[in-house]
Amino acid sequence: MDEEIRVEVSRTLSLRDPVRPYPEDPTLDVTVLVDDGSLRVEKHLTTWDGDGLGAFLAARAEEFRGWDGPRAWRSLEGDLRLSAVHTGRSVRLAWELWGDLLGDTWQLTYVTEHAPGEDMRGLAADVDAFLRSC
């Protein structure tokens, strides 16, 4: 499937290639790609219907007036973690990819900033539609 959702700043973070490997099962595999021109990291995730990522982002959009401290979300196997902080003027999302290469653990953090309210609602709706696309 050639579906993709992108969050762009100076680098690109993409969620793409949603696949249901087992019919009638909630398992949903998604690829996360971070590309800044000199570094390209691709991580395949296994989720249960997206693990509530769309709902997590939608809840942050509804809290447009702000909240104290970070709000956290993680994928089923913990290889994608998302932290949301309201700065007063924006919502800062830290997307953390985790993996293992030959026994060594690696981590990549990609930060995006979004206007509270409609910008976050749009991101949440796009992510939710993407996760429901297959």
DSSP per position, 68-105: SS-EEEE-TTSSEEEEEEE-SS-EEEEEEEEEEETTEE
Q: Taking residues 22-34, what's their average pLDDT?
A: 94
- Calpha distance 91→77 (Å, rounded): 25
Tell me the β-bridge partners of 84. Answer: 71, 93
DSSP letter, residue 50: G
Above pLDDT 90, what percent of the chain?
79
Measured from the Cβ of residue 33, the count of other Cβ atoms closer than 10 Å reads: 17
More confidently predicted of 45 and 39: 45
Looking at residue 79, its pLDDT comes to 95
Query: What angle separates helix 53-62 from helix 118-131, to the nearest 10 degrees?
Result: 170
Looking at residue 36, its pLDDT comes to 84
Looking at residue 2, its pLDDT comes to 53
**Model pLDDT for residues 85-130, shown as the tens digit of each residue:** 999 999 999 999 999 888 889 999 999 999 999 999 999 999 999 9
**pLDDT category of residue 1 using cuts at 50, 70 and 90:** very low
- For 3-7, 66-70, 96-100, 125-129, which range has the lowest pLDDT when averaged over its residues? 3-7
In the sheet with 80-86, reading across from the earlier edge strand, the strands are 71-74, 80-86, 91-101, 104-114
